[in-house]
Amino acid sequence: MRRTGHIYTYWLTIPALLLFGIFFVGPSVYSIYYSLTDWVIGKDSVSFIGLENYRTIFGSDELTHAIYNTFLYAVIVVIGKNVNGLLLALAVNTKMRLQGYFRVIFFLPCVISTIIIGLVFVPVLHPNGILNEFLGNIGLGFLQQGWLVDTKIVMVSIAGVSIWQWSGYHMVIYLAGLQGIPDSYYEAAKIDGATALQSFFGITFPMLAPAFNINMLLSLIGGLKVFSEPYALTNGGPGNASQVIALEVFSKFGRGQWGLGTALNVTLAIFVSVISIPVLYLMRKREVEE
């Protein structure tokens, strides 16, 4: 009755692999082929055109602008969500009466659909909306903006709404990191006469690295794949000022330009992979070394 092989046979992965492989990866791989064709609605034959669609993407002002917007947005949300998330986590990690309340409230927006959040923020961010009114009332009238119509700041506003919604999510992950740091470390530092700031950079910051990595990864992937936020807030407007890649994919599909839309989708997947897989690899590598 001696067993052969490992206890955890690879067969256990089969249900997940089958479902994921057949219904998700399969169609995606299939679509790579379409990204190399001139597939549009109404054409009787689909012909292979090589990299022509990709040339179109990088040759088009509109689409390169959407790519630029996507990266701009990703950078803003990665910084915003992580800084906010970390600060909130540090604050909420202090023992205080309302600790539980804060954690719940800060996380609350994450469970609500982005479409709903978007519909609520549209009137809030209207030039005559409550945000500008509030700024005027507290004497910060100079900060009033056409949040979603000024082509120069519209991406920042959209990122702002997303930071508003998701900071709590990242807070929770940082919170976990913080709670994993043994108190004895701080006590030892205190005995050595370290200041609060010194122990933050000496202990907290390095010990938070795993939480930091995962937060970077999640916010980066989410930032690059962004769709719902601009879709609900501006639908890419005014004009093309807040177009992002995923939204362009959607509108290309909506106009029957399937070949081009698929190519754009593949481009997005490549961007996200090239950026996030190395991050994940480094994370895993360091973990093994530990």
Say if CB 76 and CB 155 are below 8 A apart: yes
| Residue 68 makes contact with another protein by CB under 8 A | no
Q: In angstroms, what is the minimal distance from the CB of 184 to another protein?
A: 20
Residues 218-247, interacting with another protein (CB under 8 A)? 218, 221, 225, 235-241, 246
| Residue 282 makes contact with another protein by CB under 8 A | no
Q: What is the contact mask toward another protein in residues 112 to 151, using x (rule: CB under 8 A)?
A: xxxxxx-xxx-xx-xxxxx---------------x-xx-x
Q: What is the largest CA-CA distance in the chain?
A: 81
Question: Please, what's the b/e burial string for 42-56 (b: 16 or more CB within 10 A of its CB; e: otherwise)?
Answer: eeeeeeeeeeebbeb
Q: In angstroms, what is the minimal distance from the CB of 75 to another protein?
A: 18
| Residue 2 makes contact with another protein by CB under 8 A | no
Say if CB 162 and CB 229 are below 8 A apart: yes
Query: Which one of 68-76, 97-105, 136-144, 183-191 is the stretch in contact with another protein (CB under 8 A)?
Result: 97-105
In this complex, which beta carbon is closest to another protein, that of residue 16 or of residue 191? Answer: 16
Q: What is the CA radius of gyration of the chain?
A: 24
Q: What is the contact mask toward another protein in residues 22 to 61, using x (rule: CB under 8 A)?
A: xxxxxxx-xx--x---x-xxxxx-----------------
Q: In angstroms, what is the minimal distance from the CB of 202 to another protein?
A: 20
Task: Mention every residue, 6+ apart, whose C-beta is less than 8 A from residue 275.
Answer: 220, 224
Q: In angstroms, what is the minimal distance from the CB of 80 to another protein?
A: 14
Q: Which of 107, 185, 186, 200 binds another protein (CB under 8 A)?
A: 107
Q: In angstroms, what is the minimal distance from the CB of 265 to another protein?
A: 5
**Amino acid at the residue 105:** I
Residues 178-207, interacting with another protein (CB under 8 A)? 179-180
Whole-angstrom distance, CA of residue 204 vs CA of residue 188: 13
| Residue 76 makes contact with another protein by CB under 8 A | no
Task: Dump the DSSP string for 147-202.
Answer: TTT-TTTHHHHHHHHHHHHHHHHHHHHHHHHHHTS-HHHHHHHHHTT--HHHHIII
Say if CB 207 and CB 65 are below 8 A apart: no
**Amino acid at the residue 196:** A
Q: Which of 80, 85, 160, 168 binds another protein (CB under 8 A)?
A: 168
| Residue 249 makes contact with another protein by CB under 8 A | yes
Whole-angstrom distance, CA of residue 237 vs CA of residue 149: 8
Q: Which of 77, 248, 257, 263 binds another protein (CB under 8 A)?
A: 257
DSSP secondary structure letter of residue 255 = T
